[in-house]
Structure formats: C-alpha cells, structure tokens
Amino acid sequence: MPILNTLLAATNFRNPFLRTLVPSIGLAYGLQAAVAIPSIILQSERFYDLSGSLTYLSCTALSLYLPALRARSAAALAGKAAPAWPSLADALRGTGGPHGFNWRQVVLSAAVSVWASRLGSYLFQRILQDGEDSRFKNIRNSPPKFAVAFLAQATWVSLCLLPVMAINSLPAGTFASLGGAVAVTDVIGILLYIGGLSFEVTADRQKSTWVEEKKAKKHDEDFLTRGLWSKSRHPNYFGESTLWTGIATLSAGVLSSNAGIAGMALAGGLTGKIIALLSAGVSPAFVTFLLLKVSGVPLSESKYDKRYGDRADYKKWKETTPKFIPKIFG
C-alpha cells in the first residue's frame, strides 16, 4: 500500500484527464516491458499478442476504477471509512450516484474488454498451433528490434485507448450535465462497434474453418476467396478499424460537448472542441494507418504476392476484390 499511495500521489495532477491518462499509459509500458524481457531472452514471440490483450484489459480496468481507487486511498490516509466500490449494475440502471460510473463508461470499457479477450485468445491459439509468427521471423533474434516491437505495442494500446481513458476520467457531474437522454452519437457508435466486431469475428472464423478444411484435405485452395474474403481482401482488418471508429464516435459525442470539455479541464470554444475530438479520433486513425500502412495489409499482401503473384487466379482476385472497404454488390 505505501508504494500504491506514493504512485497515486505522484500522479494526482490537477487536470482530471492527466490523473487518469498518465498512470494508465505508465501501466501499458510497464506491462509490455515485463513481458519483453523474458521474450527477448528466450527469443520467443509466443506471448506477444496475448500480452497486448492483457495490457488492453488492465489499462481499461485501471482507467475505469482509478477515481474510486484514489478516493479509497485518500479515505484510508485520513482515517475515514473507505467509500464503496462503484457498481456496474447501478451504472447501467442510471443510479450510479455522484461517485459511481456512467453507463457510457461501462459500455465502452466492456466493448474494449470483449474485443481484447476475443482477439487475444484467437491469436494465442493460432500461434500455439503454428509454432511461430512470421512477423517476427527477422527480428526475434535481435534484442533491440524485438524490444521496439513491445514498445510499439505499448504505444498502440495507449493511442487506441485514448478515447476510453478520456471518458473514464470524467467526473460523474459531467454526465449529469448531459442529461439522461441517449444521443445520436451513442447509437451510431454502438452500431458501428457491433457491426465491426461481427465483421472481424466472422472473417476470422471463416479463415480458421478454411485452414482446418485444408488440413483435412477438403479443398486444395492456396488462398481464401470465399465468404467475406470475396468482398474484401482484408475483411478482418476492416472490421477492426470499424469497431474502433464506433468507440471513437460514442466518445466524441461526450468529449466534444460543453460538459465534456469542462470535465477534461480544457479551454472553452473551438480550441477545446478540437482537442476533445482529436482525443477521440486518434484511436481509429492510428489503427487504420497501422493496418493499411505498417503491420497489417502490407505484410500480408507482400507475403502472398511473393507466393502467388504470378498466378492468374490470384491476380484476378486482387483485381476484382477491394483491398480494404468491402464491395456491396458482386
């Protein structure tokens, strides 16, 4: 507890956003460093993706419960009775009270947790089956390059979670000022998240089924062109970009409001609104950039181009199937 109290005191900034942001980001880099050290020593990427998901879960939980943790720590230091932990059920019923959660905080935190748990378990199961991840073939034997991969993952988590951390940093009074009505951005955000997650899950399941059928010699196809993979060459990545856009949309509706700007202790007017919108929008922008330009689409396309680039059927699939945004007809 003394260490915890010291950390809470050191990050007890006047700005409520920084009070949540700094500890949460610090946790992301700390967890990634803890996993990076043994991974570099063993030259193994087995726990890379799993550690990323656990970092998402841990940072989301910390950002959500950090205000309550601070309140309980302050009460203990003052010799007073610690306030009760906020109730998730009360938040969904709208009865969280002045020290409880708002339903948007719970929904967004749950949305990230569902996505991270699903994707982390899927990728971990895949690497257990395959034995290695081709992304790390040329860097696992280089400690500096391998360390950068873990550093990049901590940065990825921090930027993706920025809108959620911002929402979770807002005091209860901010949401009370918004009133109890469900906003258009709430509905659009939730629908985009559900649609994006469904798209990603379906695409991953179709590919897993295709791989299993190939192992069972039910087909002799070298690359998947059926199902969602006939609508987009990378439907799983499209789904991921879409779900983060949904999270950002819901967040932006709150953060860019007058109450949200005040809750983040930002300057009023256009400047505060722009900063609030950037806090929400950086997440899908970064995810989409990473998938389209860095680690997702480029690596996958390069690998398949080298294997099948001279084949007519592969060229036809690339010519008739969009790279990212799925085609609606055809």
pLDDT tens digit string along 228-243? 999 999 999 999 999 9
End of a domain among 175, 209, 237? 175
Do residues 28 and 75 share a domain? Answer: yes
Please name which of 240, 247, 220, 213 lies closest in space to residue 297, comparing C-alpha atoms: 240
Q: How confident is the model at residue 330 (pLDDT cuts 50, 70, 90)?
A: low
Supply the range of the domain harboring residue 243: 181-329
pLDDT in the model for residue 4 = 77
Do residues 28 and 58 share a domain? Answer: yes
Do residues 5 and 154 share a domain? Answer: yes
| pLDDT at residue 15 is higher than 80 | yes
Helix 235-255 / helix 184-215 crossing angle, nearest 10 deg: 160
pLDDT digits (tens, 9 = 90+) for 257-312: 999 999 998 887 889 899 999 999 999 999 999 999 988 899 889 989 999 989 99
Do residues 194 and 322 share a domain? Answer: yes
What's the predicted TM-score (pTM) here?
0.91
Output 192 or 80, whichever has higher pLDDT.
192
Domain total in the chain: 2
pLDDT digits (tens, 9 = 90+) for 153-196: 999 999 999 999 999 999 888 888 887 789 999 999 999 999 99
pLDDT digits (tens, 9 = 90+) for 19-60: 999 999 999 999 999 999 999 999 999 999 999 999 999 999
Do residues 64 and 165 share a domain? Answer: yes
Do residues 159 and 283 share a domain? Answer: no
| pLDDT at residue 5 is higher than 80 | no
Do residues 9 and 158 share a domain? Answer: yes
End of a domain among 175, 209, 240? 175
Do residues 26 and 106 share a domain? Answer: yes
Cα 288 from Cα 271, distance rounded (Å): 25
Do residues 107 and 140 share a domain? Answer: yes
Q: Map tokens 């809470």 to a residue.
A: 8
Do residues 115 and 219 share a domain? Answer: no
Do residues 17 and 140 share a domain? Answer: yes
